[in-house]
Amino acid sequence: MKPPQPNSPQLDRCDPGNLEYFFPQEQQRRYVAKLLGRGGITRRRAEYFIRLWAFLLLKQTHDLAPQTLEPLVNLRPTEGLVSCTHREAAELFYGQRERGSDRAAGMMIDQLALLGLLEKRFDGQTLCLGIRPLPELIAEKTALPAALLPDQFNPRTDAIPVANLIRQTYAMAADDSAISPQRIARTLRQWSQDYPAGIRVLRRTDNLNPVGVAILYPTATQSEEVFSRPPGKSFFLTSNIAVDPVEMAPVGDKSCLAVYIRAWLIDINYLKPQHICEFQKDTQNALRQMQADFPNLCDLYSPVIHPLYEELRMLLGFQRTCEEHRPFYWIYLALDRYLELDIDTALATLSLPSTSTS
């Protein structure tokens, strides 16, 4: 039997089972590819979110213009909130698969809301959802500036943009969705005051906005034990704990042996081999300068939080140390080995997954 067409009166746009007729799989895959690489987004979450987004638009179109029965060409923000039951979400996410349930769908909606993709409101009877602004998915691609400049972190102008970048990239490591960029910014400003040379940024040359950050944290001897524990125990920027579990060594401390790379990341839109190489070279230079302040530095530790950086750590020679059940793990490299690297040669074969927002 030939399936009904989108303009057929047999189809109900508010039936999750009809989604493919109005928004085909090919279109869904195009948007899923754009979403991958955003902090905390797995392929499954991306697929569920795109299906939910399309369904909410179809329901809203039905409410606003019930006589119109056209397929979706492009996704756009919802106009306010749209009602959606857990049963509808379960059918969208899981179809006829037995492992799906209304409760599982509700938990997935909560995860998507925590990642900043959805706005959610429940008045005790009706669940309403809205799509938060996602300009990287709906805006036309604009030319990005070719020139990025490594620079010193400016606590007055860079703290909030860098905090937003950290919050978005490390969303999956956040213990509390209510942790604000302002809290992260306060911590960054304090670290910058304690040791200004420890925070570097990669900024655009046209508007000077930071699009990357490296936080090189000289670790006090008494805090080195944290590197033998699960890395989640050391998170501070994206946790709600009151006291930082890792103490900074004072300048001139000859007993300081380790640098904790608390963040090393570049905005997904600029995560290209040439920018990675440039920022890695700047990181090498910053560490050489740190050796003047901490003459016995010899160890580099970092947690790997985002899967996009797995290939980078392998090419640089960082080794895993201990693992945790969550997808975070410590990596280690001797400082001397890192400083000896020719970055262009080491990263010559770097082939990042597609992160295009086009």
Burial tier of 109 (Cβ tally within 10 Å: 0-12, 13-18, 19+): buried
- Which tokens belong to 156? 């007055």
pLDDT at 169: 75
- Which tokens belong to 76? 């756009």
Cα angle 125, 131, 136 (rounded to 5 degrees) comes to: 165
pLDDT at 100: 64
- Its sign, for the CA torsion 95, 99, 103, 108, is negative
Taking alpha carbons only, the member of 22, 87, 93 closest to residue 58 is: 22
Q: Is the distance from CB of 35 to CB of 61 less than 8 angstroms?
A: no
pLDDT at 298: 97
Instruction: Domains for the chain: give ranges and CATH numbers.
Output: 16-138 (no CATH), 148-346 (3.40.630.30)
Cα angle 56, 59, 60 (rounded to 5 degrees) comes to: 85
Q: Is the distance from CB of 278 to CB of 148 less than 8 angstroms?
A: yes
CA distance 177 to 162: 17
3 state SS of 211:
strand
pLDDT at 358: 26
Which residue is associated with the tokens 């900074």?
A: 248
Q: Is the distance from CB of 128 to CB of 122 less than 8 angstroms?
A: yes
- Which tokens belong to 60? 């809203």
Q: 321-349 b/e with 16+ CB inside 10 Å = b?
A: eeeeeeebbbbbbebeebeebebeebbee
| Residues of the chain below pLDDT 70 | 1-13, 37, 39, 63-69, 96-100, 135-136, 138-146, 171-179, 232-234, 238-240, 305-307, 322-327, 352-358
Taking alpha carbons only, the member of 271, 244, 238, 242 closest to residue 115 is: 238
CA distance 126 to 107: 16
pLDDT at 47: 92
Taking alpha carbons only, the member of 286, 287, 264 closest to residue 276 is: 264
Which residue is associated with the tokens 């080794």?
A: 319
- Its sign, for the CA torsion 84, 87, 88, 93, is positive
The angle, 0 to 180 degrees and rounded to 10, between the axes of the packed helices 159-169 and 181-194 is: 120
CA distance 190 to 187: 5
Listed in sequence order, the residues at least 6 apart from 230 whose beta carbon sits closer than 8 Å to its beta carbon are 322, 323, 324, 328
- Which tokens belong to 171? 């969303």
pLDDT at 209: 93
Taking alpha carbons only, the member of 325, 306, 299 closest to residue 233 is: 325
Beta bridge partners of 330: 303
pLDDT at 145: 53
Q: Is the distance from CB of 249 to CB of 294 less than 8 angstroms?
A: yes
- Which tokens belong to 282? 């700047």
- Which tokens belong to 21? 């007729």
3 state SS of 185:
helix
Which residue is associated with the tokens 């399936």?
A: 3
